[in-house]
Chains A and B, each alone.
Chain A
Amino acid sequence: MAEPNDPAPLWGVSAEFETADGLVAALDALRDQKLGRLDAYSPVPIPEAAQALRLPRQPIHPYALAGALLGGAAMFGMCAYATVWSYRFNIGGRPQFSWPAFIVPSFSFAMLTGTLSVVLALLILNRLPRLNHPAFNIPDFGRATSDRFFVAVEAQDASFDPGQVERVLAGLALRPHRISRVSR
């Protein structure tokens, strides 16, 4: 809900913490109140924060496996197609389908396509690159890559009540360094 006279609509409410403990406690307090979409920003990965957010486990490994298997099969298939059907080249009566010779390139290519699918999965699932995310409007957000921790409660619909979020944040035992309303 935008403030009156505020040209930019409200994106959410953020709180800045000096410790990861504070971040995790805030996430625990906010999680069950369903005030808006919760996210945490930190300079290093914090598994406790991921647990506190109850993030769904979205493993990246299926993409890796699928990419590697598809790439390896494609390279093997191409080698077989080239030697057995498309460009038969009989040297000394050796077998056309000489599969052991295809193993090295197929395996290496599988590692390549597996890696590329991991990179693509990482970027696409994380919706990156995105240079203009509203989180960058959080005051002092540059310190999220240095030594500060941020919680953001994002407005999802018209029922979003920034005052209620601020009250919960202000009532925390490990007090946030700063609470801000963040516009889009």
Chain B
Amino acid sequence: MPSDLTHPGLLRDPVIAPGQSWESVGRDVTSLAIDRRIGGRWWLAFAAACGLVGLMAISTGWLLVQGVGIWGNNVPVTWALDIVSYDWWIGIASGGLVVSAMLLLLDAEWRGALNRITETMALVSAAAAGLYPIIHLGRPWFFYWNLPYPNTFLLWPQVRSPLFWDAVDIISYLLVCLSFWYVGMLPDLAAMRDRAIERLHDGPGQELCVLRAQLYGIAALGWRGSALHWQRWMQAYRTIALFGVLLVVSLQTGAAVMFAGTVEPGWHDALLPVTFLFGAIFSGVAMVAVLAVVLRNVFGLTPLITPRHLDLLAKLLLALGLVSLYCYAAEFGTTWLTGNGFDRGVLARRFDGPHAWSTWAIIACALVPVHLFWISRARRSGVALLLVGLLVSAGMYADHFMVIVITLQHDFLPSAAQSYSVDLWGVATFAGSVGLFLALLLLFLRYLPAVSIVELRRLVRQGGLPRHG
């Protein structure tokens, strides 16, 4: 992008630290997995994550014994932390996929350092999300009743129902996200294979080294970097990116339509599909910002993830925060001025009901802190980005709580209103899903290329030809 290069701010901060070569990029990334530069701290973090997964196993076990009542769910609050957490995870997943894919389609060269962690986050969050729709069913062992399968009753699932849409959406999302991640990683797996072969040695641990090289070799599918293969790979990667973006739009706007398909007040604003989509991207970018800072500082990838990346992520967060602010203001304003009594009742409870904390948490955690990034020094500060990223993630969790619980606990008749309070088991299940997310992420960081080697190499001027954007 020649116009970019004339910008003084960007000349000061390149997208990759100077002095990098193809060989050094490959070494920096592969050695994380091959040479195990991260030892004790990784095990500590992995043990903690596994502990949380254990908590999830216990709470799921108790759930199967007792039913969804242990979460505090009741009638009318049939959706509580289970669907709040599900929406939050799938929002982060959607945001990650859409950001990585859009930046690929727009040829943004700075994505190279972040696309792998973004796509991995999307995949792993989708795995954490995928548990909820199954375990919240009450009788999760019958989850396949949602799918059209030949059965002796000659029954069909209700294909007009959002339950069916959701099942199709999440299955499609998981497979599209997995394909995008894996196809993008294929050449890097080949690089891992070749580095693992380089490290083969005689003596103790030899069998493990051979096994490792073989596993990377199988995962790389025999990729050899042939010119024709590269040509098709670039097309395939970009095409899947396009499908991914469109799928996320379908999934998030479809979710808003699912809400609108009910008669509940507060779920019918025509702007909600846009609010959902940008809310998802907002939370996804926030989580990417957190992971980018962790990767940069804990895993020592400062030459690859530069202050310019932090700056761009901060700007993206600021922009998305402004979009979200517009969406909330427009929705609240329209409801206040022209909404019917039930809608305005929901609005009043959002600001002054038993769960009003969730609305104020959105404002305090998601909408206000991003304005720190009007200051350029804050945009380059890893600590600021980490804190704001975590706050925005928390704020977006509160958003799903506000949308779902405040509407459900009081719809039309006073007699139908019932209070809901967060139960310990609901929190335990959510903590377990966080543990699953972290455990899968840590496994990824230990065994797979955490940063895209190919994308970074394309940023390094080497090999005689001008670099290829």
Contacts and interface: CB of A to CB of B under 8 A. Distances in A.
B226 A40 contact: yes
Contacts of A68: 243
A119 B179 contact: yes
A135 B224 contact: yes
B328 interface: no
A69 interface: no
Given A60-B232, A75-B168, A145-B191, A133 B464 contact: no
A11 interface: no
A5 interface: no
A53 interface: yes
Contacts of A21: 463-465
Contact of B247 (A22, A111, A122): A111
B230 A45 contact: yes
Interface string B198-241: 10000000000000000001100111111111111111100110
A42 B240 CA distance: 23
Contacts of B319: none
A43 to B, nearest CB: 6
B465 A24 contact: yes
Nearest to B21: A147
How large, as a class, is the contact surface on chain A? 35 or more
A145 B236 contact: no
A47 B236 contact: no
A109 B465 contact: no
A41 B226 CA distance: 4
A105 interface: yes
A43 B225 contact: yes
A22 B465 CA distance: 10
Q: Which of A40, A111, A122 has the most CB of B within 10 A?
A: A111
B454 A40 contact: no
Contacts of A41: 224-227
Interface in B171-208: 171-173, 175-176, 179-180, 183, 187, 190-191, 193-195, 197-198
Contact of A131 (B217, B250, B457): B217
Interface in B452-467: 454, 457-458, 462-465
A72 to B, nearest CB: 11
- The secondary structure that dominates the B interface is helix
Contact of B257 (A43, A45, A49, A104): A104
A52 to B, nearest CB: 9
A132 to B, nearest CB: 7
Nearest to B459: A44
Interface in B49-76: none
Nearest to B217: A131
Contacts of A48: 465
B159 interface: yes
A48 B231 CA distance: 11
Contacts of A142: 194-195, 197-198
Interface in A18-55: 19-22, 24, 39-50, 53, 55
Contacts of A146: 22-23, 26, 191, 194-195
Contacts of A122: 183, 232-233, 236
Interface string B145-183: 000100000111111100011001101110110011001
B240 A133 contact: no
Given A20-B463, A82-B148, A42 B225 contact: yes
Contacts of B48: none
B254 A111 contact: no
A50 B172 contact: no
A145 B457 CA distance: 11
A129 B457 contact: no
Interface string A57-68: 011110010001
A55 B250 contact: no
A98 interface: yes
A42 B193 CA distance: 15
Interface string A104-139: 110111011011101101110110111111011000
A136 B224 contact: yes
B227 A112 contact: no
B251 interface: yes
Given A55-B227, A135-B224, A115 B232 contact: no
Nearest to B246: A111
Given A20-B464, A87-B154, 14 more contacts: A20-B463, A39-B228, A43-B225, A46-B468, A50-B228, A87-B155, A107-B250, A108-B250, A112-B176, A115-B244, A118-B236, A126-B229, A129-B218, A131-B217
8 contacts: A43-B26, A43-B187, A43-B454, A49-B227, A55-B227, A64-B243, A114-B239, A130-B222
